[in-house]
Amino acid sequence: MSAFRSAVVTFPGSNCDRDLAVAIEQISGVAPARVWHGEADLPERLDFIALPGGFSYGDYLRSGAMAARSPIMRAVATAADKGVAVLGVCNGFQVLTEAGLLPGALMRNAGIRFVCREVSLTVETSQSLFTAGYRAGERITLPVAHHDGNYFADEATLDALEGEGRVAFRYAEPVNGSARGIAGVLNASGNVLGMMPHPERMIEPAHGGTDGRALFESVIGALVSA
Amino acid sequence: MKVRIAVSLKPGVLDPQGRAIHHALEGLGFAGVEDVRAGRLIELEVAEGTSDADLDAMCRKLLANLVIENYRIERVAARDVIT
C-alpha cells in the first residue's frame, strides 16, 4: 500500500486552506501538499484534492469565477476526470460550480446577509465516497460562513440530482434560500463533492463538535484501503 | 473600440439584491416601482476587428455564468462613448 497523497490548493484570498490541511493530516497521518493557484501541475499520483473556503480574488465578478479559470484548475479538472477525489468547501464549492465540475450555481443568500453560524444538516445519502461514515438521514451540525450559498439549478437538474442520489447534504433549517435546501452535491461519478458548510471546522472536541470528522474518515479511509 | 456587455439574471432566477433595492426605493418614497433586477455592466476596450464570435466566447467562458445569467453585447459607436 502506498502512502496517501493529497493536495490543498490555495488561491489568493483563500482563508481555510490551513484548516483543511490540518484536518487531512490529523485523519490521514500525512500532510497534504500545498499547491498555489498559479501552478500548472499538481503533484503526481494524488488520491485526494481539496479546495478551501475563503474569498478567492475578492469574489470579483462572481464568487469563485476567477479562481475557476486559474491555471491549477485545469489540472484539477483533468484529475477529477480521471477519478481523483475532489472536495470543495464553501468558496471551493463555488469554484467547482464555476469550473463546471459540479452543476448549478451559488447565488447571493436570499436574506442578503452574510450567514456565519452553526447549522443543522441532514446527511442525504451514505452511498458516497464522502458520506459512507454517516447514516442516511442522520442529523449533524456544521458551521457555515458565507454570503453566496444560495444554491440554484434548473428544475430538471434538481430532479436529476435528487433522483441520482447526488444531494449529499441538505439544510435542516432555513439558511440561505438554497433550492430544495441543498447544502452539498456530488458529481455524476461521485468523486467530486461541493458543500457550503465547513466539515474541517468540526473535527475535534475543542472545535465545539466533531460532526465533520466522519467526512474525512470516509474519503481518506476509502482511498487508503483502495 | 468600446464594447459594452450587459449581464443580467435570467427571468425566473430570484434576485435578492434587486429585491432589496426595490425595498429601499419604496422606503425613499418612490411609489410605482413594480420590479427591480440588478445586473452588471462590463466595458471592454478591444482591438478593431474583434469578431462577434470572440466577444461571444468571452461572455460564455467568463463574463456571464449561463446557469443563472443572460448577456447582451453592444458595440459602442465612438460618438456614444461617455467619458
pLDDT of residue A93: 98
The residue among A36, A113, A99, A87 whose CA lies nearest residue A196 is A87
Q: Indicate if the pLDDT at residue B79 is higher than 90.
A: no
Which amino acid makes up residue B21?
I
Q: Which of B17, B62, B65 is facing A108, going by the closest CB pair?
A: B17
Determine whether the interchain pair A108/B16 forms a contact, defined as Cβ–Cβ distance below 8 Å.
yes
Determine whether the interchain pair B67/A153 forms a contact, defined as Cβ–Cβ distance below 8 Å.
yes
pLDDT of residue A190: 98
Eight-class DSSP state of A134: S
CA B35 to chain centre: 16
pLDDT of residue A3: 85
CB of A1 within 8 A of CB of A193?
no
Distance from CA of B9 to the nearest CA of A (A): 10
- Give me the DSSP letters along B44-67: EE--TT--HHHHHHHIIIII--TT
Looking at the DSSP bridge assignments, the partners of residue A192 are A86
CB of B70 within 8 A of CB of B10?
yes
**Per-residue model confidence as pLDDT tens for chain A (226 residues):** 568 999 999 999 999 999 999 999 999 999 999 999 999 999 999 999 999 999 999 999 999 999 999 999 999 999 999 999 999 999 999 999 999 999 999 999 998 899 999 999 999 999 999 999 999 999 999 999 999 999 999 999 999 999 999 999 999 999 999 999 999 999 999 999 999 999 999 999 999 999 999 999 999 999 987 6
* Residues of A classed as catalytic: 90, 198, 200
The residue among A114, A77, A95, A100 whose CA lies nearest residue A10 is A95
On chain B, the residues whose CB falls within 8 A of the CB of A110 are: 14, 16
The residue among A87, A111, A107 whose CA lies nearest residue A198 is A87
Q: For chain B, first and last CA: distance in Å?
A: 14
Q: How far apart are CA A134 and CA A214, in angstroms?
A: 7
pLDDT of residue A84: 98
Question: In sequence order, which ranges of chain A are alpha helices (DSSP H)?
Answer: 17-28, 65-68, 71-81, 91-98, 155-163, 213-225
Q: How far apart are CA A178 and CA A192, in angstroms?
A: 20
Looking at the DSSP bridge assignments, the partners of residue A107 are A150
Q: How far apart are CA A44 and CA A220, in angstroms?
A: 17
The residue among B81, B83, B82, B61 whose CA lies nearest residue B71 is B61
Note the ipTM here. 0.86
Q: Which of A61, A69, A152 is facing B13, going by the closest CB pair?
A: A152
A·B CB contacts under 8 A:
37
pLDDT of residue A2: 66
Question: Which tens digit of pLDDT belongs to each residue from B15-49?
Answer: 988 999 999 999 999 999 999 999 999 999 999 99
A149 vs B: CB within 8 A: no
Pairing assessment for the beta strands B2-9 and A85-89 based on DSSP bridges: unpaired
Closest-CA residue of chain B to A67: B62
A170 vs B: CB within 8 A: no
Q: How far apart are CA A174 and CA A181, in angstroms?
A: 8
A193's enclosing H/E stretch is: strand A192-195
Chosen for mutation from A57, A59, A62 (greatest number of chain B CBs closer than 10 Å) is: A62
CB of A131 within 8 A of CB of A218?
yes
In the block, residue with C-alpha cell 469578431: B51
Which amino acid makes up residue A207?
H
